[in-house]
Amino acid sequence: MKKNKISKNWIIKQRRDIYVKQSKIEGYRSRAVYKLKEINEKFKILKNGISIVDLGAAPGSWSQFISRNYKNYKTVSVDLNEIEKIKNVYHIKGDFTDELLQKKIIDYFGSKIDIVISDMAVNTTGNKNLDSMVTGELSVEALNFSTKTLKKHGIFVTKIFMGSSFNEIVKIAKKKFREVNVFKPQASRKDSKESFIICKFLR
Ligand SMILES: C[S@@+](CC[C@H](N)C(=O)[O-])C[C@H]1O[C@@H](n2cnc3c(N)ncnc32)[C@H](O)[C@@H]1O
């Protein structure tokens, strides 16, 4: 399909999408917020007073959700893109796979972290296998970072795409965490290969 046809279809879908409408009403920057909300309702991952890393955070709806609903937390949001300021959220702009950036996150907290959530995804190319593979590499990077930096009872959540790397990532996650659940929120588009894994209790 040609690129301008893809973007026309995307615009039509966006206009019809109830989550897009709802996010505008509620003042969230992205419909992605409803995915985090569902994950949180089902798996109870967020609470007051915790340290949180939000990876692939732009435009910022997940961090907005944390900022609006929780108290006394310490959150770092990371993205390749700039994020408009969110109350009580420290933003680091850059490539998460960069070791120096990861060190900045570690230094900011100065101790082990409660939860790492990742919605990182590369710009889609239209080739679903390639997109799944490259985003899978980001998930594995986030998983490795989590195993080094999380507290023993810490939680790791990441987006993964069905495709060649899916089973492999779940397998690695199960080696590192005692509880691993795969979950596709209602807010995740039906035609998207996206799911999330929710990992608890480091081995
Ligand atoms: C689906 S969006 C995230 C939406 C976000 N959760 C929200 O609630 O607004 C995916 C994001 O991942 C970011 N991303 C992709 N690769 C990245 C990388 N290597 N390092 C940091 N961010 C990355 C993209 O820039 C993009 O903003």
Alpha-carbon gap, residue 74 to 67, rounded angstroms:
10
Please report which residue ranges of the chain form alpha helices under DSSP H: 3-16, 18-26, 33-43, 61-69, 99-109, 128-149, 166-176
Q: Whose CA is nearest to atom 21 of ligand 1?
A: 79
Domain architecture of the chain: domains with CATH: 30-202 (3.40.50.150)
Give 72's DSSP letter.
S
State the SS3 of 20-42.
HHHHHHHCCCCCCHHHHHHHHHH
Per-residue pLDDT band at 5 (split at 50, 70, 90): low
Q: What is the mean pLDDT of residues 136-152?
A: 97
CA of 128 to the centre of ligand 1 (A): 18
Over residues 64-84, the pLDDT tens digits come to 999 999 999 999 999 999 999
CA of 65 to the centre of ligand 1 (A): 16
Q: What is the mean pLDDT of residues 35-56?
A: 98
Of the listed ranges 134-143, 149-158, 161-170, the one predicted with least confidence: 161-170
Q: List CB contacts of 26: < 8 A, sequence separation 6 or more.
A: 33
Q: Is the CB of 76 under 6 A from ligand 1?
A: no
Is 151 noted as a catalytic residue in this protein? no
Alpha-carbon gap, residue 7 to 181, rounded angstroms:
33
For the chain, the distance separating the N- and C-terminal CA atoms, rounded to the nearest angstrom, is 45
Over residues 81-131, the pLDDT tens digits come to 999 999 999 999 999 999 999 999 999 999 999 999 999 998 877 777 788
Burial (Cβ within 10 Å: 0-12, 13-18, ≥19) of residue 126: exposed
Average pLDDT, the chain: 93
Give the ligand 1 atom nearest the CA of 59: 9
Question: Ligand 1 test: best mutation among 79, 101, 105, 122, most atoms within 8 Å of CB?
Answer: 79
Sort strands 74-79 and 89-93 into parallel, antiparallel or unpaired.
parallel
pTM over 0.75: yes
Amino acid at 193: K
Q: Is the CB of 96 under 6 A from ligand 1?
A: yes
CA atoms within 13 A on the CB side of 158: 27
Over residues 12-39, the pLDDT tens digits come to 676 688 999 999 999 999 999 999 999 9
